[in-house]
Amino acid sequence: MGTFLENLVTGAALGSIYALISIGMTMVYGLLKILHVAHAGVYVFGALLGLLAFRLTGSILFAFPAAVLGCALMGYLLYRFMYRRVQDEKPLIPLIVGIGMFTAMGDAYRLAAGPYSISFEHGLAQTGIVLGTFHISFNQVLVIGSAAALLVLVWLMVNKTKTGLAWRASAQDREVAMGIGVNSNYMFGLNFMFGSALAGIAGVLVGLYYGAVNANMGEVWAYKVFVVMVLGGLGNVTGTVIAAYLLGLAETFIISSWGYFLPRDAIAFICMILVLILMPNGVMGKRKQV
Amino acid sequence: MKKAIVAACLALVLCLPLAALADEVKIGFHAPLTGWAAADGQSALRGAQLAVEFINADGGINGNKVAMVYYDDRIEAKESVIVARKLIESDRVVGVVSGSYSTPTRAAAPIYDRNKVPYISTIGTHPEIPMNRDYVFQIAVMSPIHGRVGAWMAAETLKAKSAVLLVMDNDFGSAVTDGFRIMAPKYGINILKEYNYPLGEKDFRSLLSNIKNDNPDVLWASGYYEEAAQIAKQAKELGLKATIIGQEGYDSPKFFELAGDATNGVVITTNLDRGSQSPMAQKFLAEFFKQHKVAADMVAASAFDGMLVMAHAIKTAGTKPDDIAKAIGEMKNFEGVATGPLLAFDAQGVVTRYIPVQIVKDQAFTSLTVCKDPKLITP
């Protein structure tokens, strides 16, 4: 029983991280139909900025605002000076721009931070809740708790605010939304900033969760986010969140029961293939009306 | 006139290296200075540089200064082959020391052997590196020996009765574990379960939850410092009581940097005894710390030793490749190294040495015991 509960917590923590990273990319896809590969680079930027702020101030409380502000700015600049120039081209062109940006960012981080993992250790990492043989660490509480709070924030933002309404309108039909007075370029920029800020928080959380930050920690994410997006039905925020948690739990329980008969990321891709065969519109998808 | 100037310049440029060559002995070196093993590569380079400093301060090799020519192999086989060509053809080194892992070292070994350039592998443990090669030697500890000594130490020192194996899925991880798996039952240790994980894994929580349930006395976990740091940290978070037994892959200051307090109590088999009474070991540890403000690890010590072994062979036998190879092969009880003594080289060119076991106290390795049993330490 203790093992089952621990796996549940481990899976939920992984799912929380997956969700926070994927939301930004899903929002961009939902609005602009762009596969924003450089999003994984924004996530690493958040981790590095958070670490820098932590090193300078000695408190993890400063790591989060630093990552949020830095990544939001980076997201905006990426949109303003990169994607905005190509947003009306064929989808392949923004994709190539994204890949190029991601590669450049990866190398820049390596030059700035060095090629190896850097410690991101805060004093509370080893504390936690113990109930018999069942342990929850402070890190897991931190990750799951912050993700839950942020997801509620995203939900309120998308469903309860005027900006959220404009966002949904633009996602459904850009031209009509523009026709009724939604400033779409403004929406797109805001969208990039918001998603990037979430990725930045995810970067800090991952750094704290594993106690380490690495310049190449975004490499897996550059493609793994696609899996979460496809599982969730491309561009569907709620679906993406559900898919992220399902994937985190699936990975954890499969590894716990059968070990690594497949690498962790292969599990994700097999889930994606199964979903594409069985429910091609994602876990939240509805059959298209014919 | 122009032609004459160009010719003169060309002649000058061509003669410069020759002039430099006249009074120095060139020894080649390669290590992964970038890439995922960069922390080890940088440390190896520091060790090798310190060795050259010591040799030259001591009067060099028969009055000639030693010059080290080094390249980054990026922990890639194809890159270390290019490096080998450069060292042999353009730098024309007398011998080469590898401060790199098995994969790059194994790829380069046949090239050095074919070109009759003596080559010493210092941390590459793969048995094929020196096999049937007259000019290739290995002062690294052969992987299964770690497992054998680990099992001996678990039974004799830790009095363990049961173990779980956590095996990194690559050459190194499975080869070190082979030794443990064979030897543990002979010392009365019951192996309860075995789990594999891929290189580069960061999240061990689901496996560690299972292991906590298995409740072994010791957890034999193969891995490099990044994996080891996550294992130690997550094991502590989950409240695992078993003593973690690691190998030389853990032996890096990065292990302490990444896992902090969670490293205390971890036991490893390695080649650098921090409590060694050997004068060279003490001199090496003190000087390394003085220069770099960080404790030396086994990678630095191994590269340091590789350079010293090569220099010693050149000193006693001259610069002919056959003589150098013969001199290395015939070394016995060589004390002039940090991880010594090097007892002898076998017919394949693999060294036999005592294996120190270290335990982490206050985030530093300290001596626990030393294995001198020939049954366990002979390759």
Query: What amino acid is encoded at B96 in this protein?
Result: V
User: Residue A137: is its pLDDT beyond 90?
Assistant: no
Q: Where are the beta strands (DSSP E) in chain A?
A: 118-119, 128-131, 134-137, 212-213
Contacts of A133 in chain B (CB under 8 A): 212-213, 239
What's the token pair of residue B249?
């892959």
B181 — pLDDT class (breaks 50, 70, 90): very high
In this structure, the answer to whether residues B246 and B310 fall within a common structural domain is: no
Distant-in-sequence, close-in-space partners of B177: CB < 8 Å, separation ≥ 6: B147, B165, B167, B220, B222
Strand partners, B71: B30
Q: Nearest CA to CA, how far is B177 from chain A (Å)?
A: 17
CATH number of the structural domain spanning residue B130:
3.40.50.2300
Short-list A239, A223, A219, CA closest to A231: A239
Residues B242 and B94 in one domain: no
Q: Across the interface, do B239 and A130 touch by the CB < 8 Å criterion?
A: yes
More confident: B353 or A170: B353
The range of the structural domain enclosing residue B186 comes to 143-269+357-377
A33 has a pLDDT exceeding 90: no
State how far the Cα of A218 lies from the Cα of B334, in Å rounded to an integer.
Answer: 47
Same domain for B246 and B373, yes or no, is: yes
Contact present, A143 and A244 (Cβ < 8 Å): no
* Beta carbons of B122 and B305 less than 8 angstroms apart: yes
CA A35, CA B48: separation in Å to the nearest integer? 47
How many folded domains does chain B comprise?
A: 2
- The torsion angles phi and psi of A284, rounded to 5 degrees, stand at -100, 0
pLDDT in tens, B110-149: 999 999 999 999 999 888 899 999 999 999 999 899 999 9
Same domain for B154 and B192?
yes
B-interface mutation test, from A109, A139, A252, A255, most B Cβ less than 10 A away = A255
**Is the pLDDT reported for residue B14 higher than 60?**
no
pLDDT score of A96 more than 60: yes
Q: B343 near B351, Cβ under 8 Å?
A: yes
What is the reported pLDDT for A24?
Answer: 87
Q: How many residues does chain A have?
A: 290
Same domain, B338 and B191: no
pLDDT at B10 over 60: no
pLDDT at residue B212 tops 50: yes
Instruction: Give the mean model confidence (pLDDT) for residues A132-139.
Output: 84
Is B254 in the same domain as B310?
A: no
Give the confidence band of A269 by pLDDT, cuts at 50, 70, 90.
confident
Shortest alpha-carbon distance between residue A181 and chain B (Å) = 48
Cβ count within 10 A of residue A30: 21
Share of chain A above pLDDT 90, in %: 43
For residue A151, what are the contacts with CB-CB under 8 A and spacing of at least 6? A19, A241
* Positive or negative: CA dihedral A68, A74, A80, A82: negative
Same domain, B133 and B148: no
How high does pLDDT run on average in chain A?
88
Distance from CA of B232 to the nearest CA of A (A): 11
Kindly tell me if the per-residue pLDDT of A150 is higher than 60.
Answer: yes
**pLDDT tier, A72 (very low <50, low <70, confident <90, very high otherwise):** very high
Report the residue from B210, B230, B254 with minimal CB separation from A210. B230
Out of A114, A135, A253, closest to residue B239 by CB: A135
Q: Are residues B45 and B174 in the same domain?
A: no
Q: Are residues B149 and B221 in the same domain?
A: yes
Which residues from B are below 8 Å from A when comparing CB atoms? 34-36, 38-39, 169, 195-198, 201-203, 205-207, 209-210, 212-213, 226, 229-230, 233, 236-239, 254, 257-262
- What is the CB neighbour count within 10 angstroms for residue B59? 11
Domain spans of chain A, in order of start: 15-220
Kindly report the nearest CA distance between residue B255 and chain A, in angstroms.
10
- In this structure, the number of other CB atoms found within 10 A of the CB of residue A89 comes to 12
**What percentage of residues in chain A have a pLDDT greater than 70?**
96
B131 and B8 co-located in one domain: yes
User: Does the pLDDT value for residue B178 go beyond 90?
Assistant: yes
Do residues B98 and B108 share a domain? yes
Contact indicator for A69, A109 with CB cutoff of 8 Å: no
